[in-house]
Amino acid sequence: MRHLFPPLARDLEAILVTGGGRVDGRTLRDGLLAAAVQLGAVRRAGHVEVDHDKVDHGGVDHGGKRPAIMVDGERLDADAVVLAAGAWTSALLAKINFRLPVAPQKGQITHLRVEADTSNWPTVLPSHHYLVAFDDSRVAVGATRETGSGFDTRVTAAGQLQVLRDALSVAPGLADATLIETRVGLRPLTDDLPIAGAVPGHDGLYVATGYGAAGLTMGPLIGDAIARQVLGQPAPELAAVAVR
């Protein structure tokens, strides 16, 4: 396997699975946002709160409700609101007294630069971490899974020790690589399955969260399913992860 990923240990045994893919999370995010704007979306940034007031039909209360978002104090009404705020989703729902069993799990990642063409290097997946090569002579190694971390986004010595120790045990050839960046993320973690779909008792309100470390993989699929559900179309793949 060393001819495919030269830094690997000489005695490492591995299975090659072809057809896989890799994605840079920041590039994917930026691409999705740019595409949304091209299709008519309007981006707003600020402090967000969720509201869910009764709809006023010409001064007559028919008992209906509609979701709304407050952005820096400005109310934005909508026919539907989809909350995809990761580990912060539960906090957004607190105002309407709806609780989701979602908590942050901290993950620390390290990016290394090597003196080699990494564009064709495969992704390496040992039992509990990963090494992902990108086209710019960069290898991302990670990641810690710090359950119970809360919203702590510090890069820690212990976390970096774990990441680098695990990476070098599999690929000792990375020992001379240049450490160019560390990143910290907070995964939205549940104690069971992810959560996606309509929020019971709150018409027009939807959530998509709890995907842990699989968010980049499953996010586009769930986004498509949520969009169909909002439009009243079948979305059978959401049945197993429905909000309860």
Name residue, tokens 């063409």. Answer: 117
* 3-state SS string for 126-144: CCCCEEEECCCCEEEEECC
Q: Which residue has the higher pLDDT, 76 or 38?
A: 38
Burial annotation 76-100 (CB, 10 A radius, 16+ → b, else e)? eeeebbbbbbbbbbbebbeebebeb
Q: Which of 20, 13, 216, 44 is nearest to 127 (CA)?
A: 13
Q: What is the pLDDT of residue 1?
A: 84
Instruction: List, in sequence order, every residue forming a beta bridge with 50; answer none if it has no partner.
Output: 69
Q: What is the DSSP letter of 1?
A: -
Per-residue confidence (pLDDT) for residue 57, from 0 to 100: 40
* DSSP strand pairing (74-77 vs 195-198): unpaired
> By the 8 A CB rule, do 85 and 66 touch?
no
The yes or no reply on domain 44-102+191-241 and CATH 3.50.50.60 is yes
Note the helical H segments in 12-142. 25-38, 89-93
Q: For 88-104, how does the pLDDT look when each residue is reduced to its tens digit (9 = 90+)?
A: 999 999 888 899 999 99
Q: How confident is the model at residue 128 (pLDDT cuts 50, 70, 90)?
A: confident
Q: Express each pLDDT in 165-214 by its tens digit.
A: 999 999 999 999 999 999 999 999 998 999 999 999 888 999 999 999 88
Are the beta carbons of 182 and 155 closer than 8 angstroms?
yes
CATH number of 104-189: 3.30.9.10
Q: What element of type H or E holds 203?
A: none
Ordered by start, the domain boundaries in the chain are 44-102+191-241, 104-189
- Taking the model in full, what pTM does it have? 0.86
